[in-house]
Every structure is written in structure tokens, then in C-alpha cells.
Amino acid sequence: MSDAYEQPMKTVHVELGERRYPIYIAAGLLARNDLFPAHIQGRQVMVVTNETVGPLYLEAVAERLQVYQCESLILPDGEQYKNLAELNKIFDALLTRRFARDCTLVALGGGVIGDMTGFAAACYQRGVPFIQVPTTLLAMVDSSVGGKTGINHPQGKNMIGAFHQPRAVLIDTDTLATLDDRQLRAGIAEVIKYGLIRDEAFFSWLDANIEELLGRDPAALAYAIERSCLNKAEVVAADEREGGVRALLNLGHTFGHAIEAALGYRDWLHGEAVAAGMCMAARLSRRMGWLDVETLARIEGLIKRAELPLYAPPRLGAAALREFMAVDKKVKAGQVRLVLLRSIGEALMTADYAQGQLEAVLDESLSS
């Protein structure tokens, strides 16, 4: 990596008019006292975290918030806990500690904590502010930005939720030092997604620098996070509630969410399922005649070099995946709409594929 990528704190804005908010990106943000106060309106702050992240970073965040009535709640760690029972613990804590309508919630953790805390903020007293402090790469580049919040249901991932934008996103890249390698790779899957759907130059950069990302090169990680957030912010500003272009951010997700649901939200991480799902989408795009053999090989090659899965777990079976795909949020008039690729950097959502082509992709992806 060259020094060209080494920068001080970066600020990316999500342009939503009066609800415009910043994404701060830098090492050492959790040691700064000046970022939280600008985005907290009342005197009560509830920090929601989990059993893994809490022991690492809760004390540092609480120290930044000591001028407020700062309370905390520690939830269990894992996608299988992204449910109504755990969500209710947040409401219980807020009500028991008599938090008022001008309180602020802080989500300290990965995507599960961010989604659940954001959903709680959307619902509590019909909506209170919250701040995202993502500590996983996947949350930094995807789930913390854009206001999608929610919980899972046994029949489908993220089927219960709300759009509720944060007041700010604080990305301290130092927190990646405690992220295990598997979680890091899962986050890289979402980074690759941006290159595939709308940023061919970024995909080429990733192709040239994937080993630096896997090796945790600080400059490479900072650049990848900033570029991903810029892409996400532009899409959200253009289509906040997923009425059009924002749906393209779901490349690989219809397949991936089906994998996660079929596994009971265990065994595979979200990014791993998305990686396999992106490969499945690329194979279907190839069968549609949009991608040539060399382009498909390039996509699969980068995902393989990122040490991510190219195929779904064979034990699931095509019938199980079809069942869960049928309850995807992008289903319209009974048709499963999929995000596919016309080329690297150009995606579209369509239901205009032959069922036989989809069946062939599912069979191929489950037999390898």
C-alpha cells in the first residue's frame, strides 16, 4: 500500500436533508471527547452492547459519556439472538430506568447490536435518537449506515423492522484489532459487493489489494471502509426506503438470507452467506448471457482469495432454499426478484429469468 491512502479522520455525509448525518472514520475515535456530544440531545444515554464487545470497549465509551446519565445493557452475542425476546430486554431496561423521550441510544457492536438497538430506538416512545458505533468490518461498511433496523423471524431474516436513521456513525478502525479473522473476512464480502454493483474501479482495487486487507494493513482497511461508506451513502441518499436503486445493495442477499434462515441463523456468518449468494447471483447472470466465463472466474477468484465460501452448504437442499427465498422482502406479486449483474459495476433487479436457470444454479451451488 502506498502512503496515498493514509489520511486523518474522514467524514462522509449521508445526505437526507434535515436528517443529514455524518460517518466519522479514523483510528482512535473512542478516545475523543468531542464527537458524541454533538449528536446527543438529552441527558440520558443507554449503551447497548454484547458479551463479546462490552468487555473490550464499553468502559471507553462510558468514559466519553460520563457527563450524561449513562446506563448500559449487555446482550448475548450471535445472530440467533436477533429476536423479539432479546429486543424486549432493551425496552425493559429503558422503562425500568425511566428513560424519557429525549434519551439517546448508542449501539456498540456489530450488525446484530446495531440492527436491534436501531429498531428499539425506532419503537421506544414512537422514536428516539440513536448513534451507531460499529466494531466489525461488516457493520462499518454496511449495516451501520442507512437506517435499516430490525430483527429476524424463524421464517425469514430481517422480516420485522423499520427505517430509522442514526444521528451519527462513529467508526473507530482500531476496534478491528480485536476482530477475529473469520469476522474480518465476512466483512470483506460486503466490501466486494460495492465493487460488483456500482464501482468497477473499486473492484479492481480490491483485486489488487485483497491480501493487504486480509493482512489488516491499516491504510488499506481505512480506504476500503471509506470507499464502501461513500457508495452506501450515495445509494441511501438517492433511495432511502429501497423503492428503487437501494435494492441493488442486496446483491447475493436473497440467496444468502435463505442460507442463514435454513441454518437457523447458526454456523455461518452473514458475510459468508452473502459471499456464496453473490457467486450464485453471478452464475445466474452468466446463464442469462450477461457475464462471460472470464468475468465469472474473476468474481469467484476474488471471493476465493478472500477465503470466503463460493457455494452453499450441500446439506440444505434446493427445496429448503427455495422455501426461504419465497419469503424474501423483494418478492412482488409472487415473483422472487433477484439482484443480478450485467457486468462488474452494473447491477439490476429482475424477475425475468427462467425457473430452470435458477434451479440449475441452486443445484450447482449445492453440489460442490
Does residue 335 have a pLDDT over 90? no
Work out the percent of the chain whose per-residue pLDDT is above 70.
98
Contact indicator for 189, 228 with CB cutoff of 8 Å: no
If we measure between CA atoms, which residue out of 251, 235, 232 comes closest to residue 243?
235
Q: Are strands 69-75 and 104-109 parallel, antiparallel or unpaired?
A: unpaired
User: Would you give the distance in Å from CA 280 to the centre of its chain?
Assistant: 19
pLDDT band at 332, cuts 50/70/90?
confident
Q: Flag whether pLDDT at 197 surpasses 60.
A: yes
Q: How high is the pLDDT of residue 327?
A: 83
Q: What is the pTM of this model?
A: 0.94
Q: How far apart are CA 344 and CA 199, in angstroms?
A: 8
State the sign of the Cα–Cα–Cα–Cα dihedral 25, 279, 212, 58.
positive
Range in 6-10, 243-247, 315-319, 356-360 with the lowest mean pLDDT? 6-10
Q: What pLDDT does 331 receive?
A: 75
For range 79-107, the mean pLDDT: 98
Which runs of E-coded beta strand occur in the chain?
Answer: 10-14, 21-26, 44-50, 69-75, 104-109, 130-134, 148-153, 156-163, 168-172, 338-343, 346-350
- 334 vs 131, residue with greater confidence: 131
Which residues are annotated as catalytic?
126, 148, 190, 232, 242, 246, 250, 253, 257, 270
pLDDT score at 223: 97
DSSP, collapsed to helix, strand or coil, labels residue 182 as: helix
**pLDDT, tens digit, 9 for 90 and up, residues 19-38:** 999 999 999 999 999 999 99
* Size of the chain in residues: 368
Residue-level pLDDT at 328: 79
Is the pLDDT at 209 greater than 90, yes or no? yes
Domain boundaries along the sequence of the chain: 3-178, 181-366
CA-nearest of 286, 255, 284, 287 to 272 is 255
Please tell me the distance from the alpha carbon of residue 69 to that of residue 51, in angstroms, as a whole number: 22
- Residue 330: per-residue pLDDT: 73
Q: Which of the four pLDDT bands, split at 50, 70 and 90, describes residue 5?
A: very low
Task: Give me the CATH code for the 3-178 domain, please.
Answer: 3.40.50.1970
The mean per-residue pLDDT over the stretch 198-224 comes to 98
* Helical spans, DSSP H, in 97-136: 111-123
Give phi and psi for 347, each to the nearest 5. -120, 160
Give the pLDDT of residue 8.
86
170 sits in which H/E element: strand 168-172
> Are β-strands 346-350 and 338-343 bridged in parallel, bridged antiparallel, or unpaired?
antiparallel
H helices present in 109-217, as ranges: 111-123, 137-138, 181-198, 200-214
Mean pLDDT, residues 303-319 taken together: 95
What integer pLDDT is reported at residue 1 of this predicted model?
Answer: 41
CATH, domain 181-366, list 3.20.20.450, 1.20.1090.10, 1.10.10.10, 1.10.3080.10: 1.20.1090.10
What mean pLDDT value characterizes the chain? 95
Whether pLDDT at 71 is above 90: yes
Query: In this prediction, what percent of the chain has a pLDDT beyond 90?
Result: 93
Q: Say how far apart CA 149 and CA 166 lie, in whole Å.
A: 10
Residue 251 has pLDDT above 90, yes or no: yes
Contacts of 52 (CB under 8 A, 6+ apart): 77, 109
pLDDT of residue 7: 55
d(C-alpha 294, C-alpha 141), whole Å:
28
**DSSP per-residue codes, 61-93:** HHHHTTTSEEEEEEEPPSGGG-SHHHHHHHHHH
Read off the pLDDT band of 3 (50, 70, 90): very low
pLDDT band at 2 (very low <50, low <70, confident <90, very high): very low
Band the pLDDT of 6: cuts 50, 70, 90: very low
Which conformational region is residue 127 in: left (phi greater than 0), alpha (psi within -120 to 50 degrees), or beta? Answer: left
The pLDDT tens digits for 142-193 are: 999 999 999 999 988 899 999 999 999 999 999 999 999 999 999 999 999 9
Mean pLDDT within 324-341: 85
